[in-house]
Amino acid sequence: MAEQTTPRVVAVNRGAEHADGPGRTRGPQHDALGAWVGRWINEGHVINDDGTPGPAITTSDVYEWAPGGFFLLHTAYGRIGETGVGGTEIIGYDEASGAYTSHFFDSGGNVVVSSLVACGDTWTYRGETTRATVEFSADHRVQTVLHERTDDGTTYQPSMKVTLIKVD
């Protein structure tokens, strides 16, 4: 006679079901995302095509754990020049692929999916037409970020430079 298991929630959108094994557990790859958690003030500027500073950037960014502690929820609100901007990002680590992924939904209706690679205190986003290099200070209270864009998929040019200061 087969042993019966008590149904449990394996994936929230599937409800309770019979499943083998203990389910997912947080690992060091999830813990690494903790460097981002907190409230940040972001200041910097757009970089004009000729390399000179362009419009100012000021935003408020909040990174927090989503329910369950496997994913980060990032919300941002602010201005680029005179334009109000914002967005919502979900960052997670997928055990199956062994990779971090970001899904960013901006206030202009755009969706950007990026891979995210961590190397020590440096994280690099790579999207279809964008790249961003985030360098955390040793105490994880400052992020220095260079955003770049490409039109041909090969040559990148700087598009924004910002510094985020953790305020809590």
30 and 69 in contact (C-beta within 8 Å)? yes
Q: Give the rounded percent of residues in the chain with a pLDDT score beyond 70.
A: 97
Residue 38: is its pLDDT beyond 80? yes
pLDDT-derived band of residue 156, with 50, 70 and 90 as boundaries? very high
Predicted local confidence at residue 2, as pLDDT: 53
**pTM assigned to the model:** 0.88
Give dist(CA 61, CA 87) in Å, integer. Answer: 10
Domain architecture of the chain: domains with CATH: 38-166 (2.40.128.20)
What value, to the nearest 5°, has the Cα angle with vertex 124 and ends 120 and 130?
A: 175
Looking at every residue in the chain, the average pLDDT score rounds to: 93
Residue 63: is its pLDDT beyond 80? yes
Residue 120: is its pLDDT beyond 90? yes
Residue 1: is its pLDDT beyond 70? no
DSSP for residue 156: E
Predicted local confidence at residue 23, as pLDDT: 73
HEC letters along 80-142: ECCEEEEEEEEEEEECCCCEEEEEEEECCCCEEEEEEEEECCEEEEECCCEEEEEEECCCCCE
Q: What is the pLDDT of residues 101-117, one digit of tens each?
A: 999 999 999 999 999 99
More confident residue, 35 or 9: 35
Residue 168: is its pLDDT beyond 70? yes
Say how many C-beta atoms besides its own lie within 10 A of residue 109's C-beta. 6
